[in-house]
Amino acid sequence: MICGVDEAGKGSVLGPMVIAAVSCTSEDLLSDINLRDSKLLPAPERERLSAIIRKRCKVAVIKIDAHKIDSLRRDMTMNSCVARAHAKAINKLAPTTAYVDACDVNPFRYAEMVRSHLTLDCEIVSEHHADSRFRIVSAASIIAKVARDKEIAKLAEKYGEIGSGYPSDPTTIAYLSRYIDEYREAPTIARKSWKTVSALIGKREQSSLSAFF
């Protein structure tokens, strides 16, 4: 069995990070579908491909919410957090070889980070842009992206328009700014350990202080 692992939402300031692992006996099982990095596919196509992948392959999905990410980052780097989650997904599927999208500048070091958390004997192939190089990782990328998009949609139903959750999204920043202005703290769905949040809180406090002068 081979396995591909990727994540969605690592750099997001709102919402969860979702890790997906996809395993099958051979990438040939996916050779007839247009697998690519999920970011290069429109949402309807990701949804269509996700359904096909789930029918043909074994899938494991792990979701780590904002509060848990903040908690983990007190004891480890974000890369370590991702490596541990990648290993957890691999452990669920028990492949003999796993292909992972390296989160570290040194892919060999990242492979060792993942391997250190495994509970089984599995070869780790760690490469940058693995979601473009290996079809099985592209499949994992699609599963992770679709799953995270659904989580963001659920949050939007509860909290209103929050955008994609990424710091580069003006809608996300506008939502965070309004919330912090009103409640003087970040919402529970925000990763409070992110510099984006601390900067917005600092800006709000500075604005409040200037009102006294």
Residue-wise pLDDT for 156-165, tens only, equals 999 999 999 9
Q: State the pLDDT at residue 207.
A: 59
Looking at the structure, tell me whether residues 148 and 170 fall in a common domain.
no
Reported confidence tier of residue 144, pLDDT bands at 50, 70, 90: very high
End-to-end CA distance of the chain, in Å? 67
Reported confidence tier of residue 202, pLDDT bands at 50, 70, 90: confident
Q: How far is CA 23 from the centre of its chain?
A: 18
Domain boundary among 136, 156, 176: 156
Domain extent for 196: 158-205
Q: Is 211 within a domain?
A: no
Whether 4 shows a pLDDT value over 90: the answer reads yes
Q: State the pLDDT at residue 9.
A: 95
Q: Is 17 within a domain?
A: yes
Looking at the structure, tell me whether residues 130 and 186 fall in a common domain.
no
In whole angstroms, what is the distance from residue 138 CA to residue 16 CA? 20
| Domain count for the chain | 2
- 83 Cβ contact partners less than 8 Å away, ≥ 6 residues apart: 103, 104, 110, 113, 114, 116, 117
SS (H, E, C) 143-166: HHHHHHHHHHHHHHHHHCCCCCCC
Q: Is 212 within a domain?
A: no
Q: Is 167 within a domain?
A: yes
The DSSP element (H or E) to which 100 belongs, if any, is strand 97-101
Looking at the structure, tell me whether residues 188 and 105 fall in a common domain.
no
Q: Is 119 within a domain?
A: yes
* 136 CB-side CA count, 13 A: 25
pLDDT > 70: what percent of the chain? 95
Looking at the structure, tell me whether residues 103 and 9 fall in a common domain.
yes
Q: Tokens 């003006």 — which residue?
A: 170
Q: State the pLDDT at residue 5.
A: 96
The DSSP element (H or E) to which 90 belongs, if any, is helix 78-93
Q: Which of 130, 132, 140 is nearest to 53 (CA)?
A: 140
Looking at the structure, tell me whether residues 66 and 116 fall in a common domain.
yes
Cβ neighbours around 183 below 10 Å, total: 9
Q: Is 73 within a domain?
A: yes
Q: What average pLDDT does range 87-91 have in this prediction?
A: 97
Q: What's the Rg (C-alpha) of the chain? A: 19
Reported confidence tier of residue 116, pLDDT bands at 50, 70, 90: very high
In whole angstroms, what is the distance from residue 140 CA to residue 200 CA? 34
